[in-house]
Structure 1
Amino acid sequence: FPLDWSVVRTVLAMIGKFGITASLSIIYVYSAEVFPTVIQNGIGIGSMCARTGGVLAPMMYLLRNISPHAPMVVSGLCPLLGSALTLLLPETANKPLPDTIEDVEGTIL
């Protein structure tokens, strides 16, 4: 049966949209676990980066001047890069959460 590329593109776009929405929700939960209680800037920086991405997203349309496929390629590679970088973050399951900067320094060193 013939492959309809518009259906494939739509399915991939919906998977990407799901990943982006899930990562936006996880930013707040995960950064609250990783950063100590006394440092609220970590959550703010995560939120700022997410909002900056949302502001720049409409400008992706300008990439069509370079190539008609450029917006799709960038939109596909950015979440993959973000998910790969997430693997470098520490695991927080069943571990005490840091309350002070000294707690964080003690776990890293």
Structure 2
Amino acid sequence: MPIVRTVLAMVGKFGITASLSIIYVYSAEVFPTVIQNGIGIGSMCARIGGVLAPMMYLLRNINPHAPMILSGLCPLLGAGLTLLLPETANKPLPDTIEDIEGESL
């Protein structure tokens, strides 16, 4: 059982690291060039999650399995929400706000 837990933790760590890297690439494609705050907001949300993550240890007082359950459900929720993001393959990158308003990605 400890080996399975370690493997799952490493897969989760890989997913978190990959998603943090993807934030910068995807944000640059979705937000127009004139809006430079988009990448910063995505990064800020990721950093807030990193700051709050150690506090999950306190959930052990409620239920010993609560941190593991929360650590498993949050990435699954995030992965499901990515299905709602627009597709950017083979589409021109928006340069202005009007480019986004005129067409949906």
**TM-score bucket (shorter structure):** over 0.9
1:49 matched to 2:45? The reply is yes
Q: CA RMSD in A?
A: 1.1
Map of 1:99 onto structure 2 = 95
2:80 to 84, 89, 97: 84
- The TM-score with structure 1 as length reference comes to 0.93
Map of 1:14 onto structure 2 = 10
- CA offsets 1:44-69 (integer angstroms, 9 cap, x no match): 11011001001101101001011110
Unaligned runs of 5+ in 2: none
Unaligned runs of 5+ in 1: none
Larger Rg: 1
Instruction: Report % sequence identity.
Output: 88
Map of 1:27 onto structure 2 = 23
Task: After TM superposition, give the deviation of residue 41 of structure 1 in Å.
Answer: 1.1
> Which aligned segments of 4 or more residues in structure 1 are displaced greater than 6 angstroms?
none
Aligned residue pairs total 105
- The TM-score with structure 2 as length reference comes to 0.97
Q: 1:26 is paired with a residue of what secondary structure?
A: helix
